Structure 1
Amino acid sequence: MKKLAISFAVGAASLLSMGAAMTIPTTAQAQPVVIQVAPPPPRAERVPPPRRGYVWAPGHYEWKRGHHVWVRGTYVRARPGYAYRAPEWRENNGRWEYNRGRWDRDGDGVPNRYDNRPNNPNRN
């Protein structure tokens, strides 16, 4: 009986440690990346032939572990009714902000979570 209790405790501890590894992103992780180092010029890459039901997500640089890392382009499954916005770096007063790729319902460039009228197809 004692061995069963010990093995149960070990199993429960390992399940808890696995659960800790699968945490939900915190608010700090969701913050945009803002740095003072400009990204290198984009690399030239060959875009493969179009694929039905997919959208091309071009290659781009991401900021990882203190330096820019190139991420190759790939096809992502299309979302009917949404426009794909590729990842981009924007300079603002000497600081560079990275905006991740995203889907936008009305194609106006404003992420739906910040858009007061996210489904307005007539917006310019």
Structure 2
Amino acid sequence: MKLARPLLALRHALLIPLALMALASAPSYAQTEVIIRQAPPPMQYERTPGPRPGYAWDRGHWRWSGRGYVWAPGYWQPMRGARWIPGHWQARGPNWYWKEGHWVR
């Protein structure tokens, strides 16, 4: 019994960092592809705020909630030394695909 406790503590001490490393190494580009047959509503007018040093404005857009489109308001995000390309819906035949926003160097 005295030996079991240190081994259990050692196992937990090794498993936690390994689990965190596995989560951190998952690709950040892996995103769910959203394909909808219903076109998104027209863009809502959203007043773009003035420039904010060190940040890029990600404009609002329609997102699919599973039952219909829901407006997601714009927000500031920290700059990453690149140009921000906002996400948008793309028509391909009868379907609409969500193209996720991304940074371009």
**TM over 0.5: same fold?**
yes
Q: Structure 2: which 5+ runs fail to align?
A: 1-22
**1:20-39 alpha-carbon deviations (Å, 9 max, x no partner):** xx9x79xxx83311110100
**1:72-98 alpha-carbon deviations (Å, 9 max, x no partner):** 011111111x22110100101111000
Alignment of 1:1-124 (within 5 A): 30-80=31-81, 82-105=82-105
Paired residues, what number? 103
**1:42-91 alpha-carbon deviations (Å, 9 max, x no partner):** 000111111000111100011112211100011111111x2211010010
Instruction: Give the counterpart letter for 2:48 in structure 1.
Output: V
Residue equivalent to 1:17:
none
Instruction: Give the counterpart letter for 1:52 in structure 2.
Output: P
Distance in 1 of aligned mates of 2:35 and 2:43? 18
Distance in 2 of aligned mates of 1:31 and 1:46? 29
Give the TM-score taking structure 1 as reference length: 0.60
Give the TM-score taking structure 2 as reference length: 0.69
Instruction: Give the counterpart letter for 1:60 in structure 2.
Output: H
Q: Structure 1: which 5+ runs fail to align?
A: 1-21, 106-124
Residue equivalent to 2:18:
none
**Which structure exhibits the higher relative contact order, with contacts defined as CA atoms closer than 8 Å and separated by 6 or more residues?**
2
Q: What's the Cα RMSD here?
A: 3.5
Instruction: Give the counterpart letter for 2:33 in structure 1.
Output: P
Identity of aligned residues (%): 34
Instruction: Give the counterpart letter for 2:71 in structure 1.
Output: W
Distance in 2 of aligned mates of 1:92 and 1:48? 32
Structure 1 stretches of at least 4 aligned residues deviating more than 3 Å after TM superposition:
none
